Amino acid sequence: MALIAILAGDGIGPEVTTQARRVLDALGLDHQFEDGLVGGAAYRALGHPLPPQTLELAHRADAILFGAVGDPEMDGLERTLRPEQAILGLRKALGLFANLRPATMFPGLEDASALRPEVARSIDMVIVRELTGDVYFGDKGRGHTKMGLREGHDMMRYDEAEVARIARVGFEMAKRRKKILTSVDKANVLETSQLWREIVNEVALDYPEVKLTHMYVDNAAMQLVRNPGAFDVVVTGNLFGDILSDQASMCVGSIGMLPSASLNEWTGTCGLYEPIHGSAPDIAGQGKANPCAAILSAAMLLRHSLSDEASAQRIEAAVIAAIGSGARTPDLGGSHSTTAMGDAVLAAL
């Protein structure tokens, strides 16, 4: 019996997580669930976005199903107390260095993409994003220049161990797919990227069967528009991964469909699973949010943390069937409520 922590968070987080929980319950598996407060919700109740009891629960759990954090009312708070710190803190505390973000076109949803249907249909990639280093976690601060001007700074940094372990995740993933790995950096400008490229080339020696290409991040952003179908697995740093994975997921049409996994080792048991969409305060509480990304995150949780491939595939097939039956939340051009979409997936299960 595994312990699954449910950290629903802010905005639409609780709404979509509720549907994912219903789907997990319907599978009749013998797992235990425990809820924890996180993000703005935790700050309101306990004065901190990642309170000690939530961190303790996260450490104790076998896997975490995460909703979303972010609350515009808290924009004025100092950075360390803002909701986003909860997810950054969890990633760091649990060593969740590998973020897997699949972006695949769902049959029937081609119309939701701004890309031409024939371009959209070709998308089938995974972005492997490093999640505990880079300019996200380097020395940062505010100060004044010698002339007395206000300044702000953040150190971008990687060491060889950090690059090698995420590169390995990328190669392993590529090995199991089409054997094409694109490593994205900005080595013509950044020393961090030159180290990145050097180490990726070293790790590549262990994977002769994988075709490795290096691409500058500006070019990658272009190719993701021009010909996204050419990508198989993309491996990149925290900041570039943040940007490119959101771009890639929008190519698929709706970010309401896409899950993600954050792992602390290649087949580690501890992982955090979250929809790639955020807390979407503009539609929170209206029952409009698409729960599919959260439901598919639950499937990834079963696959990666609980080694339950069969249940993962059952959930994924149910989501595809629900979409196939015409169920559509507003982001997909339909009028299903969050609960009705959950119902459609449950019916297909």
Ligand X SMILES: CC(C)[C@H](C(=O)O)[C@@H](O)C(=O)O
Residue number, 13 or 342, with CB nearest to a second copy: 13
Does residue 189 belong to the site contacting ligand X (CB under 6 A)?
A: yes
Residue of 292, 296, 184 lying closest to 248 (CA atoms): 184
**Is 282 one of the annotated binding-site residues?**
yes
Q: Spell 304-333 as b/e; 16+ CB within 10 A means b.
A: bbbebeebbebbbebbbebbeeebbbbbbe
CB of 127 to ligand X, least distance (A): 11
Subset of 235-264 contacting ligand X (CB under 6 A):
242
Q: How far apart are CA 278 and CA 275, in angstroms?
A: 8
Phi-psi region of 198 (alpha: psi -120 to 50; beta: other; left: phi over 0): alpha
Does residue 149 belong to the site contacting a second copy (CB under 8 A)?
A: yes
Position among 28, 188, 205, 209 found at the interface with ligand X (CB under 6 A): 188
Contacts of 222 (CB under 8 A, 6+ apart): none
Please report which helix (H) or strand (E) contains residue 215, including its range: strand 211-216
Subset of 240-279 contacting a second copy (CB under 8 A):
240, 242-247, 249-251, 255
Size of the site for ligand X (CB under 6 A): 7
Pairing of strands 259-263, 271-275: antiparallel
Q: How far apart are CA 138 and CA 150, in angstroms?
A: 20
Does residue 42 belong to the site contacting ligand X (CB under 6 A)?
A: no
- Using the rule CB under 8 A, give the single segment among 174-182, 183-191, 304-312, 335-343 that binds a second copy: 183-191
Position among 1, 47, 116, 208 found at the interface with a second copy (CB under 8 A): 116
Active site amino acids: 136, 186, 218, 242, 246
CB of 188 to ligand X, least distance (A): 5
- Whether the CB-CB separation of 212 and 183 falls below 8 Å is answered with yes
Q: How far apart are CA 181 and CA 194, in angstroms?
A: 18
- Whether the CB-CB separation of 67 and 7 falls below 8 Å is answered with yes
Does residue 145 belong to the site contacting ligand X (CB under 6 A)?
A: no
Residue number, 294 or 322, with CB nearest to ligand X: 294
Does residue 154 belong to the site contacting ligand X (CB under 6 A)?
A: no
Q: How many residues does the chain have?
A: 349
Residue number, 259 or 342, with CB nearest to a second copy: 259
Residues in the site for ligand X, rule: CB under 6 A? 84, 87-88, 188-189, 218, 242
Q: Which residues are annotated as a binding site for substrate?
A: 91, 101, 129, 218
Residues in the site for a second copy, rule: CB under 8 A? 70, 79, 82, 84, 88, 114-116, 119, 135-136, 138, 140-142, 145, 149-161, 186, 188-196, 198-199, 217-219, 221-227, 239-240, 242-247, 249-251, 255
